[in-house]
C-alpha cells in the first residue's frame, strides 16, 4: 500500500462546489479542516428556463439549461479569490477536489469542447448543458421505464423501479428525438462534474458515483459485483440512434470517489494561479461530497442535504434494491460500503416560491425588523401553531417527486384552504409536507431492513432555519443533528481532494482530522410526534391517490398544459 504523504507544516487543499446558481471554493488546512478562505461566484447566465441567453429563443416548459463557460469563469474567479484572501502561497496547495450538481449533462466533441460553443449549435438549446432540474425529458423517462419493464431489465431495480427525467439517458433521448444532429455530431455525453475534471487535467475519467446513480451503470445481481451499462439491444430498442451509445459516447475509465483523476495542466495552473501537476480528485456529486464533511463514514446515519432541493444519502453494508429509492452504488461514496440516494426535488425552492408570490405587504414590513427576514417572520409565527391547528395539508411536489414516486409530472397540492387561512399557516403546511416526504423516504429504507438510526442535516436551509429541523424531527421521530460544516459540499470536495492527493491513507482518518462534531441536536417531542401520526396518515392517502396512479389528475393537467402551449 502506498504510504500517505506527510504534509508540510502549512498545507492546504481546495474544494470547489458547483451548485445550481453559483460555484463556491474553499481553501482548507489539511491539518485540522479549518476553512481559511471561501469565495462564491454566480454564473453569468444563471439558469436559462424561459429563453436561450444567446438570442432570446423561447424555451419549452420545464426546461433548465446552462452555459458551460460559466463554470470555467466561476472556477477561475473563486480559486483566485481564496488564494488572495488567505495569502497562502500557491505552492502550499497540495490537492484539488470538485463536486457538481447531478445529473447535469452536456454533449461535447472528442476533445471535450462543448457543442454549444460551436457556431453550428450556438442557437440550438439541446447543445447546451441540461441542468439537474431540467424536467422537459419526462416523456423520455416514461419511455425508458416502459421499455425496461417490458424487457424486464435488471438495471431498473437499482433505481427503485423508475428512471428519472433528471438523469443522463432521459436527456440524451430527448436530444435524439428533438435535435438528432446534436447527437450525430457529439462524440461524448458527459456529466458536467466529469467534464470539469477533464478540463483541469486533460484526462477524461468518469466518476463511479455519477455513472452509477444517474447513468444506468449498475452492479448486476449475479454475485460478481461487476458494474456495466445495459445492453446495446436495450438502447437500440429505445431508439435506433442509441444502439452504440455506450461504446461511442461514454467510453472512459471509471474511478471511485477519492481517486486521483489526473494532475493540473500547465495552462490551467497558470489560469488558476496554482502549481502545475497538482493532484485533482475524480469528480463527485455535490450532495455526496457532503457526507464526509458531516463527519459520517459509517452505516445507519442518514445525511440530509437541504437547499433548493433535498438529497438523502445513506451508507450500508448491504446492497439491496429498494422500491422508490434513486439508486444504490457499490463504493459510490466510501470504500467498502454501498451508498443509497433518495431526495426531494423542491424544498427551499418551494418555500421561495411561496415567499415570492403569495405574501401580503404586512409580512414584508415585519421582516424588516426581523434578523432572519421574511422566512424568520413566517417561521416564528408558524412555530406558535399546534400540530393540526392550520387545518392544512400539503403534498410537497412543487418541482415534481424525486422519491419515492420518481415522477417529474407530479405537482403540488394544498388542501384545507379557507378565507381565514393565514400565510404562516400555509408556510407551516409546506414545511410539514416536506417533512412527511422525508419520512416516506426513511420508511422506504427501513421497510427493507436498512437502518436509519439518526439524521445529520446540512445545507443552507438546515443551518438558517431551526424551526424546519424541529418539525422534521417531530415528524420522523428521530434526532436530527445539525452538522458543523456550513459549506459542507465544498469542504467534502476538499476532503476528497486530500485523500486523492495521498495526504491521508483513508477516509476514516481524513474525517477524524478535518471535521467537527455536530453543533446542535433537534430531539423529537413525543407528544407532537404522536399528533403528527394522524396528519401523516392523511398525507399517505393523498400521496397514493394523486401519485401512485398513471391516471392522476396532476398528470392530466400537465398534459393539457403541454397541449395548450
Q: Are 349 and 47 in contact (CB under 8 A)?
A: no
Q: Cell numbers at residue 370, please?
A: 426581523
Closest CA to 15 of 105, 92, 78: 78
Q: Cell numbers at residue 271, please?
A: 489560469
Helix orientation angle between 488-500 and 286-293, rounded to the nearest 10 degrees: 80
Q: What is the mean pLDDT of each run of 10 residues along the chain (565 residues)?
A: 53 96 97 96 96 88 96 98 94 97 96 97 97 94 96 92 93 98 98 98 96 91 74 98 96 93 97 97 95 95 93 93 88 92 93 96 96 96 98 96 90 97 98 98 94 94 96 98 95 97 94 96 98 98 93 90 83
Instruction: Specify the pLDDT at position 1.
Output: 40
Q: Report the predicted TM-score, pTM, of the whole model to 2 decimal places.
A: 0.89
Q: Cell numbers at residue 142, please?
A: 416514461
Contacts of 478 (CB under 8 A, 6+ apart): 442, 452, 453, 454, 455, 524
Instruction: Specify the pLDDT at position 222.
Output: 57
User: 404: cis peptide before it, omega within 30°?
Assistant: yes
Instruction: Specify the pLDDT at position 415.
Output: 98
Q: Is the dihedral of CA 334, 338, 344, 345 positive or negative?
A: positive
Q: What is the pLDDT of residues 284-312, one digit of tens each?
A: 999 999 999 999 999 999 999 998 889 99
Q: Cell numbers at residue 281, please?
A: 480528485
Q: How far apart are CA 412 and CA 405, in angstroms?
A: 14
Q: How far apart are CA 68 and CA 50, in angstroms?
A: 18
Instruction: Specify the pLDDT at position 223.
Output: 52
Phi first, then psi: give them for residue 45, nearest 5 degrees: -90, -5
Closest CA to 474 of 429, 423, 425, 533: 533
Q: Cell numbers at residue 521, please?
A: 441536536
Q: How far apart are CA 553 and CA 488, in angstroms?
A: 39
Contacts of 289 (CB under 8 A, 6+ apart): 15, 17, 97, 99, 488, 489, 490, 492, 493, 495, 496
Strands (E), 157-234: 188-191, 206-207, 218-219, 227-228
Q: Are 307 and 464 in contact (CB under 8 A)?
A: no
Helix orientation angle between 507-514 and 488-500, rounded to the nearest 10 degrees: 130
Task: Output DSSP code: residue 129.
Answer: E
Instruction: Specify the pLDDT at position 251.
Output: 87
Q: Is the dihedral of CA 83, 84, 87, 91 positive or negative?
A: positive
Q: What is the pLDDT of residues 2-44, one digit of tens each?
A: 455 555 557 999 999 999 999 999 999 999 999 999 999 999 9
Instruction: Specify the pLDDT at position 2.
Output: 47
User: Which 3 state secondary structure label does DSSP give 476?
Assistant: helix
Q: Cell numbers at residue 507, please?
A: 477516509
Q: How many CB atoms lie within 10 A of CB 57?
A: 12
Closest CA to 484 of 87, 35, 106: 35
Q: How far apart are CA 254 and CA 261, in angstroms?
A: 10
Q: How far apart are the first and last CA of the chain?
A: 61
Q: How far apart are CA 396 and CA 410, in angstroms?
A: 10
Domains of the chain, start order: 13-295+485-514 (3.30.420.40), 344-482+525-564 (3.30.420.40)
Amino acid at each position: 500500500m502506498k504510504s500517505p504523504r506527510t504534509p508540510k507544516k502549512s498545507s492546504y487543499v481546495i474544494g470547489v462546489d458547483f451548485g445550481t446558481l453559483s460555484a463556491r471554493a474553499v481553501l482548507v488546512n489539511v491539518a485540522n479542516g479549518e476553512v481559511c478562505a471561501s469565495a462564491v461566484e454566480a454564473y453569468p447566465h444563471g439558469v436559462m428556463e424561459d429563453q436561450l441567453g444567446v438570442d432570446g429563443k423561447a424555451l419549452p416548459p420545464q426546461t433548465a439549461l446552462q452555459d458551460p463557460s460559466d463554470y470555467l469563469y466561476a472556477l477561475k474567479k473563486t480559486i483566485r479569490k481564496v488564494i488572495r484572501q488567505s495569502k497562502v502561497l500557491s505552492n502550499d496547495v497540495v490537492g484539488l477536489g470538485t463536486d457538481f450538481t447531478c445529473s447535469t449533462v452536456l454533449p461535447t466533441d472528442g476533445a471535450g469542447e462543448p457543442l454549444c460553443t460551436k457556431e453550428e449549435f450556438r442557437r440550438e438549446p439541446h447543445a447546451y448543458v441540461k441542468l439537474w432540474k431540467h424536467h422537459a425529458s419526462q416523456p423520455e423517462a416514461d419511455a425508458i421505464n416502459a421499455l425496461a419493464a417490458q424487457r424486464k431489465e435488471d438495471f431498473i431495480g437499482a433505481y427503485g423501479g423508475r428512471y428519472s427525467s433528471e438523469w443522463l439517458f432521459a436527456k440524451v433521448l430527448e436530444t435524439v428525438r428533438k435535435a438528432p444532429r446534436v447527437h450525430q455530431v457529439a462524440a461524448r455525453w458527459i456529466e458536467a462534474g466529469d467534464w470539469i475534471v477533464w478540463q483541469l487535467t486533460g484526462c477524461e475519467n468518469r466518476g463511479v458515483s455519477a455513472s452509477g446513480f444517474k447513468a444506468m451503470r449498475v452492479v448486476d445481481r449475479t454475485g460478481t459485483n461487476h458494474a456495466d451499462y445495459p445492453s446495446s439491444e436495450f438502447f437500440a430498442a429505445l431508439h435506433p440512434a442509441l444502439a452504440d451509445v455506450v461504446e461511442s459516447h461514454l467510453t472512459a475509465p471509471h474511478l471511485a470517489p477519492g481517486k486521483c483523476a489526473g494532475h493540473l495542466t500547465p495552462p490551467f495552473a497558470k489560469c488558476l494561479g496554482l502549481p502545475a501537476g497538482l493532484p485533482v480528485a475524480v469528480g463527485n456529486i455535490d450532495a455526496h461530497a457532503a457526507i464526509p464533511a458531516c463527519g459520517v463514514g459509517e452505516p445507519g446515519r442518514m445525511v440530509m442535504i437541504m437547499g433548493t432541493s433535498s438529497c438523502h444519502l445513506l451508507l450500508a453494508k448491504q446492497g439491496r434494491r429498494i422500491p422508490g429509492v434513486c439508486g444504490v452504488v457499490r463504493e459510490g461514496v466510501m470504500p467498502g460500503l454501498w451508498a443509497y440516494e433518495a431526495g426531494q426535488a423542491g424544498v427551499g425552492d418551494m418555500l421561495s416560491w411561496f415567499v415570492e408570490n403569495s405574501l401580503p405587504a404586512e409580512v414584508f414590513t415585519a421582516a424588516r425588523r426581523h434578523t432572519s427576514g421574511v422566512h424568520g417572520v413566517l417561521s416564528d409565527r408558524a412555530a406558535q401553531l399546534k400540530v393540526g391547528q392550520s387545518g392544512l395539508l400539503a403534498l410537497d411536489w412543487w418541482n415534481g417527486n424525486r422519491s419515492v414516486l420518481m415522477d417529474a409530472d407530479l405537482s403540488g397540492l394544498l388542501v384545507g384552504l379557507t378565507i381565514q387561512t393565514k400565510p404562516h399557516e400555509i408556510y407551516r403546511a409546506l414545511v410539514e409536507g416536506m417533512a412527511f416526504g422525508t419520512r416516506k423516504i426513511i420508511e422506504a429504507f427501513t421497510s427493507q431492513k436498512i437502518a436509519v438510526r439518526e439524521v445529520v442535516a446540512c445545507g443552507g436551509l438546515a443551518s438558517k432555519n431551526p424551526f424546519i429541523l424541529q418539525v422534521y424531527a417531530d415528524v420522523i421521530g428521530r434526532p436530527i443533528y445539525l452538522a458543523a460544516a456550513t459549506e459542507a459540499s465544498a469542504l467534502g470536495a476538499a476532503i476528497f481532494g486530500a485523500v486523492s492527493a495521498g495526504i491521508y491513507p483513508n477516509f476514516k482518518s481524513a474525517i477524524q482530522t478535518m471535521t467537527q462534531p455536530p453543533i446542535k441536536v433537534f430531539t423529537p417531542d413525543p407528544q407532537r410526534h404522536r399528533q403528527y401520526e394522524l396528519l401523516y396518515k392523511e398525507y399517505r392517502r393523498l400521496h397514493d391517490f394523486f401519485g401512485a396512479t398513471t391516471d392522476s389528475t396532476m398528470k392530466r393537467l400537465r398534459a393539457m398544459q403541454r397541449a395548450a402551449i
